[in-house]
Amino acid sequence: MLKMAYFCKIAYLKKSMASETFGIEKKKVDKELYDYQQKDIDKIFGVIEEHPENYNLLYQLPTGGGKTVIFSQMTREYIQRTNKKVLILTHRIELCKQTSKMLSGFGVRNKIINSKVKELPDQDDYMCFVAMVETLNNRLNDEKLEIQDIGLVIIDEAHYNSFRKLFKFFEKCFILGVTATPLSSNIKLPMKDNYRELIVGDSISSLIEKGFLAQVNIYSYNVGLTNLKVGMNGDYTVKSSEELYSNYSMQEKLLTAYYERSKGKKTLIFNNGINTSVEVYYTFKNAGLPIRHLDNTTSKQDRKDILKWFKHTPDAIVTSVSILTTGFDEPTVETIILNRATKSLTLYFQMIGRGSRVLKNKDEFNVIDLGNNLARFGHWSTAVDWKQIFRSPDFYFENLLSDEDIERDFQYQMPPEIREQFSKSEDVTFDIEEAYDIVIKKGLKSKAVLEWSMEQHVKMCVENSEDVFDARILAKELKDDISSRIKQYSYCISKSTKNYRDWLEEDYSRKLRMEINKEF
The Cα–Cα gap between 320 and 276 comes to 9
Q: Residue 44 in contact with residue 55, Cβ under 8 Å?
A: no
Residue 422: CB atoms within 10 A of its CB come to 21
Burial class for 517, CB neighbours closer than 10 Å (0-12, 13-18, 19+): exposed
Q: Given this model, what pLDDT does residue 327 score? A: 65
Q: Residue 287 in contact with residue 252, Cβ under 8 Å?
A: no
* pLDDT higher than threshold 60 for residue 12: no
Q: Given this model, what pLDDT does residue 16 score? A: 39
**Could you tell me the domains of the chain?**
19-202 (3.40.50.300), 210-401 (3.40.50.300), 416-517 (no CATH)
Pick the more confident residue, 412 or 203: 203
- For the chain, the farthest-separated pair of C-alpha atoms sits apart, in whole angstroms, at 118
* pLDDT higher than threshold 70 for residue 133: yes
The Cα–Cα gap between 2 and 15 comes to 20
Task: Provide the terminal-to-terminal Cα distance of the chain, rounded to the nearest Å.
Answer: 118
The reply to whether the predicted model has a pTM over 0.85 is: no
The residue type of 381 is: S
Give the mean pLDDT of 326-342: 90
Report the SS3 class of residue 291.
strand
Q: Residue 153 in contact with residue 174, Cβ under 8 Å?
A: yes
141-165 tens-digit pLDDT: 887 777 888 999 999 988 887 888 8
The residue type of 492 is: C
Among 54-68, 90-104, 344-358, 361-375, the least confident range: 90-104
Nearest-CA neighbor of 411 among 428, 426, 387, 423?
428
Residue 505: CB atoms within 10 A of its CB come to 16
The Cα–Cα gap between 175 and 58 comes to 8
382-427 tens-digit pLDDT: 999 999 999 998 888 888 888 888 888 887 888 888 999 999 999 9
Residues ≥6 apart with Cβ < 8 Å to 208: 214, 215, 381
* pLDDT higher than threshold 60 for residue 215: yes
Q: Residue 224 in contact with residue 319, Cβ under 8 Å?
A: no
What rounded mean pLDDT belongs to the chain? Answer: 89
